[in-house]
């Protein structure tokens, strides 16, 4: 390879589902994502979750063994290039920390257990990035333990929800010992109807142009229908009802035999159809098409920030800035100062997150005044409220909370306890980022009248920060000096020191 040319970046996205674990390994080639390999292993975590939400050791062992296999494929990958998310079963398991501890012995990458809403957003992203449909979409994913439903325009979800109903959990609950009867099917169907009844009106009111379904149940249904004469690839209520009648001629789930049905999916097909039929009737769906994109694709596109996530974040941020009529020039001034200060910090606790932290600082600079449309007084509180309560495509839950924290405490005083650490970001890094952001806002408080310092250097020794300007800058800008003195007073009760010269 010629000198100066970097090899394509390879990365992996892993979805720890309730039924199966999936891994995608991909790389960026000529501006597009190229899939290098896909690995899927049936783990059936949900089968090991008891009525008290305790995950059995046998289920933990199956999951850990699968992660050990994945780790062999990922040898040589840095943590920055591997993203792993756990879904329904790991969310629900009260002993999920036991799973994570045992997994860490064979799998050297962090595992993030995401919320149901975040899972729905990622599924929507995966479908949107892999399917050709334009316009408003309803996206449905029936997993082993939960079902996710989202509606959105292009890459932006307008509503994302998750419900505790999946093909594995319903098989265990409504079909004891795999027995298949019409009464068992009806019980599963009625339970699914009850779980989504509250969503029906709002989803129908939002409307859609396309309906797409992802993951195992819908993939299996689509394949069975195609193998049995429905070549257009569409799933309809009438065709689902026909499948139900065919399946009910068998006495057990595992005994079902249909063209296109894999043996390993036989015992979860009918529970999945019960959920899917309830979705069709509640949302009054006319037809659905299967999508190859799902959660793992959403995770995958989220890994390459320059290619996809950066674009989505830019779209999200620009839309918010336009909606709330943000002063773009002021946002740019704050951003430039913040990034100049950020570049001088060498004391990050988690150095693998430096790029992510820089991005969070950039987006906070752009959006920190969204609350000014409510009232200038308390703008920091208003901005934080808007950010924490908005759907922000491209930002996951922890990033959204970090942005809200930066906005909430960038003015006035604050307490250390206000800045709670998260499972991803270390408390010390959050505090450092906040101090940088507060300085960036402070140094541009005069807005268009701001006089930028030609020299702005920052040195850090533990909790003591030394901010240095060119000679005579502070004497010629007494308001800046007064603001910096006030900031030093805010920090003093926290055991933090700011010196200026």
Cβ contacts of 332 within 8 Å, gap of 6 or more: none
Confidence of residue 160 (pLDDT cuts 50, 70, 90): very high
3-state secondary structure of 466: strand
pLDDT at 174: 96
**What is the CB neighbour count within 10 angstroms for residue 445?**
14
What is the C-alpha separation between 276 and 189, in angstroms, rounded? 9
- Both structure tokens of 193: 């109807």
pLDDT at 451: 77
pLDDT at 1: 43
As a whole number, mean pLDDT of residues 113-134 equals: 84
Model confidence at 310: pLDDT above 70: no
DSSP code of 178? Answer: G
As its CATH architecture, domain 117-298 has: 2-Layer Sandwich (3.30)
As a whole number, mean pLDDT of residues 216-231 equals: 89
- Return the residue matching tokens 């909370």: 401
Model confidence at 212: pLDDT above 90: yes
3-state secondary structure of 23: strand
Domain 10-114 class, CATH top level: alpha beta
pLDDT in tens, 182-209: 999 999 999 999 999 999 999 999 999 9
pLDDT at 43: 92
3-state secondary structure of 370: helix
Q: Which has the minimum average pLDDT: 12-16, 160-164, 303-307, 442-446?
A: 303-307
**Percentage of the chain surpassing pLDDT 90?**
39
- Return the residue matching tokens 């305790």: 54
Model confidence at 31: pLDDT above 50: no
Q: What is the pTM of this model?
A: 0.61
- In terms of average pLDDT, the best of 77-86, 93-102, 226-235, 448-457 is 93-102
Model confidence at 161: pLDDT above 70: yes
How much is the mean pLDDT over the chain?
Answer: 86
pLDDT at 193: 97
What is the C-alpha separation between 447 and 452, in angstroms, rounded? 11
- Do the Cβ atoms of 168 and 268 come closer than 8 Å? yes
pLDDT at 415: 76
Confidence of residue 420 (pLDDT cuts 50, 70, 90): low
Ramachandran angles phi, psi of 356, nearest 5°: -65, -40
3-state secondary structure of 115: coil
- CA within 13 Å, CB half, 152: 27
Is the Cα torsion angle 17, 22, 28, 31 positive or negative in sign? negative
pLDDT in tens, 341-385: 999 988 888 888 888 899 889 988 888 888 777 777 777 778 778
Domain layout of the chain by residue ranges: 10-114, 117-298, 312-450
3-state secondary structure of 111: coil
What is the C-alpha separation between 91 and 115, in angstroms, rounded? 7
Model confidence at 7: pLDDT above 70: no
- In terms of average pLDDT, the best of 25-29, 341-345, 392-396 is 341-345
Confidence of residue 325 (pLDDT cuts 50, 70, 90): confident
Confidence of residue 105 (pLDDT cuts 50, 70, 90): very high
- Both structure tokens of 139: 């996206």
pLDDT in tens, 287-301: 999 987 778 777 777
What is the C-alpha separation between 260 and 127, in angstroms, rounded? 23
As a whole number, mean pLDDT of residues 444-473 equals: 84
What is the C-alpha separation between 228 and 206, in angstroms, rounded? 34
Confidence of residue 421 (pLDDT cuts 50, 70, 90): low
Confidence of residue 309 (pLDDT cuts 50, 70, 90): very low
pLDDT in tens, 62-83: 999 999 999 999 998 988 889 9
pLDDT at 307: 45
**Percentage of the chain surpassing pLDDT 70?**
91
Model confidence at 98: pLDDT above 90: yes
Fold: same for 10-114 and 117-298: yes
State which fold the 312-450 domain adopts: Hypothetical protein af1432 (1.10.3210)
Model confidence at 46: pLDDT above 70: yes
As a whole number, mean pLDDT of residues 120-135 equals: 81
H-helix or E-strand spanning residue 201: helix 200-206
In Å, how far are 126, 162, 272 from 141, measured between CA atoms?
A: 11, 9, 10
């Amino acid at each position: 390879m010629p000198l100066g040319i970097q090899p394509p970046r390879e990365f992996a996205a892993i979805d720890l589902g309730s039924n199966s674990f999936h891994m995608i390994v991909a790389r960026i080639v000529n501006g597009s994502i190229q899939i290098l390999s896909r690995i899927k292993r049936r783990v059936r975590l949900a089968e090991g979750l008891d009525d008290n939400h305790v995950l059995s050791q046998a289920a933990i062992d199956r999951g850990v063994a699968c992660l050990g296999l994945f780790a062999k494929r990922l040898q040589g990958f840095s943590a920055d290039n591997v993203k792993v998310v756990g879904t329904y079963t790991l969310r629900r398991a009260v002993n999920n920390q036991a799973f994570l501890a045992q997994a860490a012995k064979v799998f050297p990458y962090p595992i993030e257990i995401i919320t149901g809403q975040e899972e729905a957003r990622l599924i929507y992203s995966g479908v949107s990035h892999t399917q050709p449909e334009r316009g408003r979409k309803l996206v449905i994913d029936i997993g082993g333990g939960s079902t996710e439903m989202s509606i959105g325009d292009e890459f932006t979800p307008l509503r994302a929800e998750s419900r505790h109903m999946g093909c594995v959990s319903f098989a265990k609950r409504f079909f004891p010992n795999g027995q298949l009867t019409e009464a068992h099917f009806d019980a599963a169907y009625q339970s699914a109807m009850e779980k989504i009844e509250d969503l029906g009106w709002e989803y129908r009111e939002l409307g859609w142009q396309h309906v797409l379904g992802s993951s195992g149940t819908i993939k299996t249904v689509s394949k069975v229908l195609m193998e049995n004469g429905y070549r257009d690839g569409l799933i309809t209520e009438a065709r689902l009802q026909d499948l139900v009648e065919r399946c009910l001629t068998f006495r057990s789930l595992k005994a079902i035999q249909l063209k296109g049905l894999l043996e390993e999916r036989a015992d979860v097909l009918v529970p999945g159809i019960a959920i899917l039929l309830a979705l069709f009737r509640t949302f009054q769906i006319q037809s659905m098409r299967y999508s190859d994109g799902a959660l793992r694709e959403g995770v995958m596109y989220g890994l390459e920030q320059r290619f996809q996530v950066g674009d989505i974040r830019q779209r999200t941020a620009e839309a918010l800035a336009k909606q709330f009529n943000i002063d773009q020039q002021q946002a740019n001034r704050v951003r430039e100062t913040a990034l100049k200060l950020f570049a001088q910090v060498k004391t990050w606790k988690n150095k693998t997150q430096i790029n992510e932290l820089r991005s969070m600082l950039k987006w906070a600079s752009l959006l920190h005044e969204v609350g000014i449309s409510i009232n200038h007084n308390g703008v920091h509180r208003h901005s934080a409220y808007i950010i924490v309560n908005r759907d922000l495509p491209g930002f996951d839950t922890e990033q959204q909370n970090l942005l809200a924290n930066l906005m909430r405490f960038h003015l006035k005083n604050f307490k250390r306890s206000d800045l709670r650490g998260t499972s991803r970001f270390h408390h010390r890094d959050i505090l450092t980022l906040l101090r940088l952001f507060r300085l960036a806002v402070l140094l541009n408080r005069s807005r268009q009248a701001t006089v930028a310092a030609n020299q702005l250097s920052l040195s850090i020794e533990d909790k003591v920060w030394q901010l240095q300007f060119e000679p005579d800058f502070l004497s010629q800008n007494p308001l800046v000096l007064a603001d910096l003195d006030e900031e030093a007073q805010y920090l003093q009760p926290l055991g933090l020191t700011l010196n200026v010269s």
